[in-house]
Amino acid sequence: MKELIDKLYETNSLSPEELKILIDNRNPEVAEYLFEKARAVRVENYGYDVYIRGLIEFTNYCKNDCYYCGIRRSNCKANRYRLTKEEILECCQVGYDLGFRTFVLQGGEDEYFTDEKIIDIVDSIKTRYPDCALTLSIGEKSYKSYKAYFDAGADRYLLRHETANPDHYRKLHPKAQSLENRKHCLYNLKIIGYQVGCGFMVGSPYQTTDCLVEDLIFIKELEPHMIGIGPFIPHKDTPFGHKEGGSLELTLFLLAIIRLMLPAVLLPATTALGTIHPRGRELGLMAGANVVMPNLSPKYVRKKYMLYNNKISTGDEAAESLNDLKKRIEAIGYQISVSRGDHKSVLVEELVF
Ligand code: 5AD
């Protein structure tokens, strides 16, 4: 296995067959070797900096019905909410004062938030905080809508592809949603000029090693700036409420593979990872991740944005958790960076002009 890891380290790629062998034959010793390489590559590219993103979950209404997700349309037990523009701006102010220079507006696919409303929110945030990056994570939209948000000032867009295997995609989503459109959206976002993030859940129901290999091959082909992966965690009020969750161990292994495949990628140690293990996020950073996304949503809505059960950071204020996080990150030899934390390729462009 070490030869395969060396090859991945040197060439940033492996064939599908080799990826499958590596994943299926992993063990703690192989994993430790892989993590060492992943950390080295991460330090070469971004030093010891950990970028922070302030996550603002501004609506949990969603027109989609993904079988795994706690805010799916059919979950009548979900307590729905929407933040007003003023509340969103208030979250940004709290975040700005804490040192956040990236805000991530995330929500379900909520038709109440028309393009006009989103554009107004984007414009207000960028006017008030011109030194900050703004990331949108609001699902599948038309090229025209994506372009309009970009022209209003949005810098980045997160849209997890969820799985790159069409049959697997159909097992996770109702017919109205297709992998084809999801991928089409991701390519549109790239063409428009966003820093783009895709991603998938690890250990989602019906996922096989072949699915994971397809995810990795798709990622290599798309070449996104960011990749969000985290373990699947069942939510009791969904059709997958009794399915088994994804493992910490496999998630860490995949984070490290991804770091070696795309050395300069922005890779968060996700909330889901922090949820399944008390030190999940630190372990993610030790496996090659370099981003964390603390929650900036108002305290009174946090428990309502439940994509899965037992989600962390539903209680304490962002301020408290940030101090705690800072200490945890420093304890493992890294430091929080107060900067926009752009992808390396974007910084290079800025230097050139
Ligand atoms: N477990 C883990 N991740 C989930 N997501 C949605 N539901 C779950 C779940 N039950 C992830 C999806 C989505 C992102 C916002 O959260 O990958 O894209």
d(CA 35, CA 276) in angstroms, rounded, equals 19
Ligand 1 center from residue 235 Cα (angstroms):
10
Q: In what order do the strands lie in the sheet with 49-52?
A: 291-292, 49-52, 335-337
User: Are the C-beta atoms of residues 303 and 314 closer than 8 Å to each other?
Assistant: yes
pLDDT digits (tens, 9 = 90+) for 251-299: 999 999 999 999 999 999 999 999 999 999 999 999 999 999 999 998 8
pLDDT digits (tens, 9 = 90+) for 55-66: 999 999 999 999
Q: Is 235 close to ligand 1, i.e. is its CB under 6 Å away?
A: yes
Q: For position 187, what pLDDT does the model report?
A: 98
Q: Is 306 close to ligand 1, i.e. is its CB under 6 Å away?
A: no
**Structural domains in the chain (count):** 1
Q: Which of 12, 8, 51, 146 is nearest to 347 (CA)?
A: 51
Q: Is 240 close to ligand 1, i.e. is its CB under 6 Å away?
A: no
The torsion defined by the Cα of 308, 166, 111 and 305, in degrees rounded to 10, comes to 10
pLDDT digits (tens, 9 = 90+) for 200-220: 999 999 999 999 999 999 999
Ligand 1: which of 308, 309, 310, 312 to mutate, judged by most atoms within 8 Å of the beta carbon? 308
Q: Is 159 close to ligand 1, i.e. is its CB under 6 Å away?
A: no
Q: For position 261, what pLDDT does the model report?
A: 98
State which H helix or E strand residue 37 sits in.
helix 28-46
Ligand 1: which of 161, 250, 307, 311 to mutate, judged by most atoms within 8 Å of the beta carbon? 307
The CATH number linked to 80 is: 3.20.20.70
Q: Is 55 close to ligand 1, i.e. is its CB under 6 Å away?
A: no
Ligand 1 center from residue 19 Cα (angstroms):
24
Q: Which amino acid is at 320?
A: E
Residues of the chain with pLDDT under 70: 313-317, 347-353
Q: Which domain holds residue 120?
A: 2-352
